[in-house]
A = this chain, B = another copy of it.
Amino acid sequence: MEKEKAAYIAGFLDGDGCIMLQLIYRKDYLLGYQIRASIVFYQKQQNRYYLEWLKQKLGDGYIRNRGDGMSEYTIVGIQSVRRILEMLKPYLVLKRKHVKVALYVLEKMPGTGRKMRPEVLLKLAKYVDKFATLNYSKKRTNTSKEVTRFLLSHKLLRSRRD
């Protein structure tokens, strides 16, 4: 992508985009929780063409019309999010810290088919907590506390008192 396009998209992400790191509970996961990374852009449905344009430039993700008149463009998955954040990083101003923390977490995630160790998940979950404070997220239900509780109760982690 040309530098000016990447700089433009970085500006748009700083202004109206959202980078998310979330802990998702998965009952079929051995460790109970998955770390989900995503980048989201929103527009009124009449500006959906703009999200299509963005998607064409970024080359990943999907667009859906929500029930409230908005369209939402979501890029999800470690590889895609990492690639895009690396590309926009040199130009970001407001979300520079977000990207630093997000990339740190994404780089520590084991590749496809490789197992995550419980200690690594817990460490990364704490970074996800830290990330949430940058995003001013208020309604979080899954934090590193829940991950700790799950890992302890499933004897995947040793309690400090053991």
Contacts and interface: CB of A to CB of B under 8 A. Distances in A.
Instruction: Categorize the interface residue count of chain A.
Output: 20 to 34
A17 B12 CA distance: 10
A147 interface: no
A7 B94 CA distance: 15
A11 B47 CA distance: 15
Interface in A23-72: 47, 50, 53
Nearest to A10: B8
A91 interface: yes
A5 interface: yes
A4 B92 CA distance: 11
A4 B93 CA distance: 12
A162 interface: no
Interface in A62-96: 91, 93-94
A146 interface: no
Interface of A: 3-5, 7-17, 47, 50, 53, 91, 93-94
